[in-house]
Structure 1
Amino acid sequence: MENVPSSAAAAVLGASESLPAGSALVRGYDFEGEKVDYDALFASYATTGFQATNFGKAIDIVNHMLEWKPSEEQIKNDVSPGAKCKIFLGYTSNMVSAGMRETIKFLVKYKMVDVLVSSAGGIEEDFIKCLGPTGVGSFDLKGHILRKKGLNRIGNLLVPNDNYCKFEDWEKGLTTRTQYIIGLQKTKFQCSALR
């Protein structure tokens, strides 16, 4: 080791301290069993590392929300013993553009969330996905080349211009009809009049 510069030796060959007390050790799921135990698989994400660790923490938070029950003190203060955690799900438009739309639909359909919080873009993207497909592309596709082909890139997703044009046509028709009904009623507008 006499040819190794001292600064390199100090950086690479220096003695290690112990891992911080209480550190979880990295370990993934052992798939060698007869069948997959999905609870154990998801629990293992907490010690898998990188983004799996954050996903594992999210699973713990969701499980805590699902298992929550009021304390004796809360029940004494007039909280119903059968009360459950009210779960809000906030999402952004890019989650709908991606494949999360189906997951959100499942959670709502089976009453696994109580309140949805979205931006107007999240609702708009939902309509757009009803009007035409979105494809999987690549993050490194060049925007100026896609533009010539009438394609838009959202991350690694590809959306044809036609989808946006269909949405605009639908929205313009709805706006025109709404303005017409408001003119006929000469009163406050009610959404039920659009049926």
Structure 2
Amino acid sequence: MSKSNQNLPSSLNDAVLKASEAVPEDYTKIEGIDYTKPEATDMRASDLIGAMKNMGFQASNVGRGCEIIDKMRSWRGKHIDELEEHQRKGSFDDDGYQKTTIFMGYTSNLISSGLRETLRYLVQHKMVSAIVATAGGIEEDLIKCLAPTYLGDFALKGGPLREKGLNRIGNLLVPNDNYCKFEEWIVPILDKMLEEQEKYVSEQGSSCFDANSEVDSPMWTPSKLIDRLGKEINDESSVLYWAHKNQIPIFCPAITDGSIGDMLFFHTFKSSPKQLRLDIVSDIRKINSLSMEASRAGMILLGGGLIKHHIANACLMRNGADYAVYINTGQEFDGSDAGARPDEAVSWGKIKAEAESVKIYVDATVVFPLMVAATFASGKVATKI
């Protein structure tokens, strides 16, 4: 107790001026960026992230998220020549070393936004292994190849927008004409896919639909449909185009929950009594098998809901992911999976207890471009660790 406080009532000392225990030496001191220093002028993204790491709150979580991303993308295991034939599964780098299988998930609003170009960069340069998206995350990528989305305002009223044929996504505007162009583009592709399906069935017989058939299933799956659409769009601005080109599967178990669902619905009337079929069971087997074969698994989840759970549940099949970075604004008080923190997934076996994980409570459009600039696009080369 200092001399100046000796005359205070003991109850005040106990309540207000209680002595502290010594702070451990390994505790991080909170400090921010000193812009009076030359090195703080026009900082590189990686330097800015490094400085934010000690600021506290979500800034520190952003720094932690970048550390985890760098670890998941730089981990290297054994060379393929060191492995037995049955062990040669999972992801390998160009030099033949095992690497982390990175699952990336995003919701449709992020493709509608300008984050689409950041996501395309990762797929274009083979920096992720597999993707899970919502239906809007598929169709909005394609629609943007046909017509632009515009900046509006969160306060624009729905009634007047409806009269003008404008659809609002937050502060973005999508004209109805965009969806008309999408319908004109996709229907001939659905016609061709149905024709290919019917031809295969006529050649192989209806027994080829049997789950125990010895021939490959002629049925389309959501991921095969998405791959075909990526091939057909043939546009380098598209995420789906690069996923097709680089053979990165995109899964969408709720493929009918959007404009694509509308197109498939309309197509059933056009093609009746024939019908295009999509097999979701084959896709759940495919994504779960990717997880089970992974030497290490990482999750980068932008948003919540279906995309978050679908990837996490796939990682359950290997007893949990090794790395996890969540970026969303969901809260956990209502028990929703969207708002759940990584530790809840640990209890289900979807993330390993010893895994490195973080949740960043922020709009992904604010921080993910910065995080990609500081990690994937930083020029740092992955090294065997």
TM-score by length of 1: 0.71
Question: CA–CA distance in 2 between the matches of 1:31 and 1:140?
Answer: 39
Report Cα offsets for 1:23-56 as digits up to 9, x if no partner: 6515136474255243221112323455433322
In the alignment, is the contact (CA less than 8 A) between 1:88 and 1:113 conserved in 2?
yes
Partner of 1:25: 30
- Are 1:42 and 2:49 counterparts? yes
**CA shift for structure 1 position 171:** 2.3
TM-score by length of 2: 0.39
Question: CA–CA distance in 1 between the matches of 2:29 and 2:150?
Answer: 39
- State the Cα RMSD in Å: 3.7
Runs of 4+ in 1 over 6 A off after TM superposition: 75-81, 189-192
In the alignment, is the contact (CA less than 8 A) between 2:28 and 2:54 conserved in 1?
no
Equivalence map 1:1-195=2 (5 Å) = 15=16, 22=27, 24-28=29-33, 30=35, 32-33=37-38, 36-49=43-56, 51-70=58-77, 82-180=97-195, 182=197, 186-187=202-203, 188=218
Tell me: CA distance 1:49–1:174, structure 2 relative to 1, closer, same or farther (3 Å): same
Question: CA–CA distance in 2 between the matches of 1:104 and 1:44?
Answer: 25
Tell me: CA distance 1:104–1:158, structure 2 relative to 1, closer, same or farther (3 Å): same
Report Cα offsets for 1:141-186 as digits up to 9, x if no partner: 2111211221111111111111111112222332234345555663
Question: CA–CA distance in 2 between the matches of 1:175 and 1:15?
Answer: 72
Question: CA–CA distance in 1 between the matches of 2:17 and 2:117?
Answer: 47
Question: CA–CA distance in 2 between the matches of 1:143 and 1:108?
Answer: 35
Q: Which runs of 5+ in 2 are unaligned?
A: 1-14, 204-217, 233-385
Question: CA–CA distance in 2 between the matches of 1:97 and 1:46?
Answer: 30
In the alignment, is the contact (CA less than 8 A) between 2:104 and 2:128 conserved in 1?
yes
Task: Provide the aligned length of Structure 1 versus Structure 2.
Answer: 177
Question: CA–CA distance in 2 between the matches of 1:89 and 1:31?
Answer: 38
- Percent identical across equivalent pairs? 41
Q: Which runs of 5+ in 1 are unaligned?
A: 1-13
Report the AA paired with residue 49 of structure 2: F
In the alignment, is the contact (CA less than 8 A) between 2:33 and 2:51 conserved in 1?
yes
Tell me: CA distance 1:177–1:112, structure 2 relative to 1, closer, same or farther (3 Å): closer
Report the AA paired with residue 94 of structure 1: N
Question: CA–CA distance in 1 between the matches of 2:121 and 2:143?
Answer: 19
Question: CA–CA distance in 1 between the matches of 2:17 and 2:172?
Answer: 44
Structure showing greater radius of gyration is: 1
Q: Which has the bigger relative contact order, CA under 8 A and spacing at least 6?
A: 2
**CA shift for structure 1 position 122:** 1.2
In the alignment, is the contact (CA less than 8 A) between 1:29 and 1:44 conserved in 2?
no
